Amino acid sequence: MQDATGVPRPVHRVRAARVAVGMLFFVNALALTTVLPRLPQIKADLGLTNTALGLALAAAPVGSLVAVPMTGRLIARFGSAAVAAVAGTALGLGLPLLALAPSGIALAATYLALGAADGVMDAAMNAHGLRVQQQYGRSLINGMHGLWSVGAAAGAATGTAAAAFGVPLGLHLGVVGLLTLGGAAAAAVGRLPGPDPADLTAHSAGGPMAGRSEGVGAGQRARGVRTAMRALLWVGVLSVLAGIGEDVAGTWSTVYLADGRGAAPGIAGLGYTCFAAAMVLSRFAADRVTDRLGVVAVARAGGLLAMLGYALVLVSPTVGLAVAGFAVIGLGVAPAFPALFHAAGHWPGVRSGDGVTVVSWVARMGFLVTPPLVGLVADTAGIAAGLVLGGAAVGTYGMLAGRLRPGARR
């Protein structure tokens, strides 16, 4: 195993870094989802209306959108692992504060800070995950996102159990906060040493970063970076399409099965359950497929498979087949964001941290606007029309997946 400059790295060091990054993905999801089953209690304790609670929750994505743009510079200065560890520490320290918030305004302020910490942590841990992947010389990023999905399930289960047994909210969130701090500490100890490479393509000849060579002026280097960043915006567009396809199935599956297909509450919940389980399985299997077929082929096949899943949901004559359709959607969309972060982190002419930051920011903007957009479509033309929007998005993502390859024609 070698670093970006060709210097051998001890095998145990790289393996330790892989474990450390995997823990970051796991505890990030654990912290974000464990509080969701406790929201009814928080709402009741503070005497909030649904609107007030919704406004407080909306502060989290606002915090992310504000904080994420600075992540690239932080990574360039301090390193992706250090930034992820500090952001993870902030997330772990801030989580118990949700139980101490005395009002809706204080709750919103806490969510604003947690959203900022999550946004920075997300971009930085993906950047370091790509660096670890480079050391291995094979795809690992899908499995890391698979650990995030496992952490999300563990967080939701932990929160549900804590609510069922009446565990005090402060104790529950304090314990999970400590686990998050442990993951951040592991990242600080197990990280790969040294600065992050400016470009994970190892300064390929002819790319804009080749401007470091003699005879290339600062103006030409700047133009090269601007050109590369404009091209990378296409990856951002693809992240919005992938986010729509994932969010529609995850958010609206239960509503569609209950209201659109008349499924009983226990059956309607199976749509999301199968969707989430399929995503986990797909992500743990996608790395080997990516090594064999390449990122673009996996992204294209995944998008088209997810579109077929949406079609199965919409045309299936039975609820059981519709549930199976949501599972197919999960299989298809699971490799999307790992592929997007891979492309962003390896884009010639763009620092790895900057590329990941751009895609993370654009994707979060998409996740912010997608739920109200789908809700508007559903209210206007029916919930099935909202699912058509999701299918169209992932289908378009699949057809445009070739733009994940640097140098693709515009």
> What was the pLDDT predicted at 204?
36
Report the percent of the chain where pLDDT is more than 90. 50
pLDDT at residue number 200: 65
103-114: b or e for each residue (b if 16 or more CB lie within 10 Å)? ebeebbbbbbbb
pLDDT at 373: 83
Does the residue 5 lie in any domain? Answer: no
* In contact, 37 and 160? CB cutoff 8 Å: yes
In the chain, the number of structural domains is 2
Q: Does residue 276 sit in the same domain as residue 184?
A: no
Are residue 296 and residue 257 in the same domain, yes or no?
A: yes
pLDDT band at 87 (very low <50, low <70, confident <90, very high): very high
Contact between 187 and 88 (Cβ < 8 Å): yes
Cα–Cα dist 364/298, whole Å: 23
CATH number of the domain encompassing residue 129: 1.20.1250.20
Mean pLDDT, rounded, for 291-319? 94
The whole-number average pLDDT for the span 252-266 is 83
Q: Is residue 51 part of a domain?
A: yes
Is 221 found in the same domain as 92? no
- Domain extent for 292: 217-404
- Is 6 part of a structural domain of the chain? no
On whether both 221 and 346 belong to a single domain, the answer is yes
Q: Which of 140, 171, 190 is the last residue of a domain?
A: 190
Q: How does pLDDT run across 121-137, given as a tens digit for each residue?
A: 999 999 999 999 988 88
If asked whether residues 290 and 222 sit together in one domain, one would say yes
Mean pLDDT of the 13-21 span: 88
Residue 205 lies in a domain: no
- In single-letter form, the type of residue at position 51 comes to T
Domain presence at residue 3: no
The angle formed by the CA atoms of residues 306, 323 and 305, to the nearest 5 degrees, is 15
| Each residue's pLDDT tens digit, 203-215 | 333 333 333 333 4
**Residue 15: predicted pLDDT:** 87
Q: How many helices (H) and strands (E) does the chain have?
A: 16, 0
Is residue 16 located within the same domain as residue 154? yes
Decide: 249 and 328 in contact? Cβ < 8 Å: no
| Domain membership flag for residue 244 | yes
Do 162 and 222 lie in a common domain? no
Residue 203 located in a structural domain: no
CA-closest candidate to residue 34, choices 98, 88, 90: 98
Residues 50 and 123 reside in one and the same domain = yes
